[in-house]
Amino acid sequence: MNTPSDFLAKIATALNLSDHSENEILRYIEDLQDKASQAEGLKTKLSEVQEKLESLNEKVLSETVENLVAKGLKEKKLTVALAESLKKDYKTNPEGLEALIENMPVQYSAVGQLRRDIPEKYRGKTYRDLYVSGELEEVKEHFPALFESLKKQDHKNN
């Protein structure tokens, strides 16, 4: 039959404390109990800190993506629609977004370019105006992009 002393001797051996006194072994066991009771609180604190860190990382990523998109818009490398799409697609990959924007050319407005390239006498005129004035064929021949743009606009309005 196991006596309390036998039991204590087995515990001391298991804890590698065979050469310590009974009081030292009991104090060591109490210390272990204290540490075990603190472990749950530490796990909770660790979980809270991890959640805060994750939230902070998400905020930093979001701000970085927002800043990159704002820079891309300012540099006229992005349209508003493209910027919104890129925010969603690259919300966790700002490095990829930055590389993408860096390699994008500046976006020019086709309509703005057309306005600069067309002679003054055609500016502000509609497809119908040019048709009525007999200038539509000349525009079609010499300024096909303007012709197509006016034609599309005319079809939208009718």
- CA 61 – CA 93 distance, rounded (Å): 8
Closest to 102 measured CA to CA, from 63, 72, 76, 66: 72
Q: What is the pLDDT of residue 134?
A: 93
- CA 146 – CA 1 distance, rounded (Å): 106
- Phi, psi (deg, nearest 5) at residue 12: -60, -40
> Which are the contacts of 150, defined by CB distance < 8 A and separation ≥ 6?
125, 126, 127, 130, 139
Q: What is the pLDDT of residue 112?
A: 53
Sign of CA dihedral 129, 134, 135, 141: positive
pLDDT, tens only, 67-123: 999 999 998 888 889 999 999 999 999 999 999 999 988 776 555 555 566 788 888
CA angle 85, 89, 108 (to 5 degrees): 40
> Which are the contacts of 21, defined by CB distance < 8 A and separation ≥ 6?
none
pTM for this prediction? 0.50
> Which are the contacts of 17, defined by CB distance < 8 A and separation ≥ 6?
24, 25, 28
- CA 10 – CA 30 distance, rounded (Å): 17
- Phi, psi (deg, nearest 5) at residue 138: -65, -45
Query: For all residues of the chain together, what is the average pLDDT?
Result: 85
